[in-house]
Chain A
Amino acid sequence: MNSAALNLDLTALLPALGMVAAAAAVLLLDLVNRGGRAPTRPWLPWGALAGVLVTAALSIWLIGQPAASFQGMAVHDERAQALNLVVLTGAALTILLSVRYIPNVNGQTGEYYSLILLVSAGMMVMGAATDLMVVFLALEIFSLGLYILAGLRRSDRRSSEAAMKYFLLGAFASAFFVYGAAFVYGATGSTRFDLIGDALLAGRADPLLLSAGVALLIAGFGFKVSLVPFHMWTPDVYQGAPTPVTAFMSIGTKAAAFAAFYRFFTEALATEQASWGMALAILAALTMTLGNLAALRQSSLKRLLAYSSIAHAGYILVGLTTAAAPGIDGALYYLIAYAFMNMGAFAVVILLERQGEMDALGSRLNGIARRQPMLALLATIFFFSLAGVPPFAGFFAKFYVFAAAVQGGWSWLAAIAMLNSAIGAWYYLRIVVNMYFAEPTAETRIEAEQLSVPLTVTLSLAAVFTVALGVLPWVWTELVQSGLVSVVVGGLAAR
Chain B
Amino acid sequence: MALSIPYLLTVITFLPLVGAVLVTLVPSDGTKKWLALATTGGTFLVSLLLWTNWQQGEAGMQFVEEAVWFAPLGVRYALGVDGISLFLVLLTTFLMPIAVYFSILYVHKRVGAYMALMLLLETAMLGVFLSLDLVLFFVFFEASLIPMYFLIGEWGGQNRVYAAVKFFLYTFAGSALMVVALLIVYFSAGTFDIVALQNTPLPMAVQTWAFLAFSLAFAVKTPLFPFHTWLPDAHVQAPTAGSIILAGVLLKMGTYGFLRLAMPIFPQAAEQYGPLLGTLAVIGILYGALVALVQKDLKSLVAYSSVAHLGYVMLGVVSMNAQGVSGAVLQMVNHGLSTGALFLMVGLLYERRHTRLLSEFGGLWASVPVYTGLFLVVAMSSAGLPGLNGFVGEFTIMLGAYSYSPVFAVLAAAGVILAAWYMLTAFRKLAQGPITNPANDKANLKDLNAGELAMVLPLVLLFFVIGLFPNLFFDKINPSVEAMLATRSALIQQATAEQMPVLAETVEEQ
List chain A positions with a Cβ less than 8 A from chain B: 326, 329, 373, 384, 389-391, 395-396, 398-400, 402-403, 406-407, 411, 414-415, 418-419, 421-422, 425-426, 429, 433, 436-437, 473-474, 477, 494
**Contact of A389 (CB < 8 Å), options: B67, B154, B172:** B172
B276: chain A residues at CB < 8 Å are: none
Chain B residues with Cβ below 8 Å from A390 are 138-140, 142-143
CA distance A204 to B237 in the complex (A): 69
Give the docked Cα–Cα distance between A426 and B170 (Å): 10
Q: B51 within 8 Å of A by Cβ?
A: no
User: Chain A residues near B160 (CB, 8 Å)?
Assistant: 437
Which residues from 153 to 190 on chain B have a C-beta closer than 8 Å to any C-beta of chain A? 153-154, 160-161, 164-165, 168-169, 172-173, 176-177, 179-180, 183-184, 186-187
- Residues on B with C-beta less than 8 A from A396 are 70
Task: Tell whether, in the assembled complex, residue B169 and residue A422 are in contact, meaning their CB atoms are under 8 Å apart.
Answer: yes
Among B71, B140, B154, B177, the residue within 8 A (CB) of A415 is B177
Interface centre among B73, B140, B169 (most CB of A within 10 A): B73
- Given contacts A425-B169, A426-B169, A494-B67, are A477 and B72 in contact (CB under 8 A)? yes
Contacts of A421 in B (CB 8 A): 176
- A429 with B165: CB separation less than 8 A: yes
For the residues of A in contact with B, the DSSP-based class is helix
Take A395-B139, A407-B187, A474-B69 as given contacts and tell me if A384 and B146 are in contact as well, using a CB distance cutoff of 8 Å: yes
Given contacts A389-B146, A395-B139, A437-B154, contact A418 B176 (CB under 8 A): yes
Residues of B near any A CB (own CB < 8 A): 67-73, 113, 135, 138-140, 142-143, 145-146, 150, 153-154, 160-161, 164-165, 168-169, 172-173, 176-177, 179-180, 183-184, 186-187
Q: In the complex, which residues of chain B have a beta carbon less than 8 angstroms from the beta carbon of A373?
A: 113
CA distance A231 to B480 in the complex (A): 55
Chain B residues with CB under 8 A of A403: 73, 183, 186-187
A399 contacts B176, CB within 8 Å? no
The reply to whether B153 and A437 form a contact with Cβ atoms under 8 Å apart is yes
A426 to B172, CA, bound (A): 10
Chain A nearest Cβ from B173, distance in angstroms: 4
Is there an interface contact between B153 and A436, defined as CB atoms closer than 8 Å? yes
Are B184 and A406 in touch, CB under 8 angstroms? yes
Contact status A436-B154, CB under 8 Å: yes
User: Inside 8 A of B168's CB, which chain A residues have their CB?
Assistant: 425, 429
What are the 3 tightest A-B residue pairs by CB atom distance, in nearest-first order?
Answer: A406-B183, A390-B139, A422-B173
- Pull 19 A–B residue pairs with CB atoms less than 8 Å apart, ordered by A: A384-B146, A389-B172, A390-B139, A390-B142, A395-B139, A399-B73, A400-B72, A402-B179, A407-B187, A414-B179, A419-B176, A422-B176, A426-B169, A437-B161, A437-B164, A473-B69, A474-B68, A474-B70, A477-B71
Out of B71, B72, B164, B183, name the residue touching A402 (CB < 8 Å): B183
Cα A436 to Cα B164 in complex, Å, equals 12
Bound-state Cα–Cα, A384 to B69, Å: 22
With both chains docked as a complex, state the minimum distance between the C-beta of B266 and any C-beta of chain A, in angstroms: 16
Give Cα A212–Cα B184 distance, bound, in whole angstroms. Answer: 35
Q: Looking at the complex, which one of B150, B153, B177 makes contact with A418 (CB distance below 8 Å)?
A: B177
Q: Tell me the bound Cα distance from A419 to B150 in angstroms.
A: 23
Taking the nearest CB of chain B, how far is it from the CB of A65, in angstroms? 22
Contacts A390-B143, A418-B176, A429-B165 aside, 11 further interface pairs with beta carbons under 8 A come to A373-B113, A391-B139, A399-B73, A402-B179, A411-B183, A414-B183, A415-B177, A419-B173, A436-B153, A437-B153, A477-B70
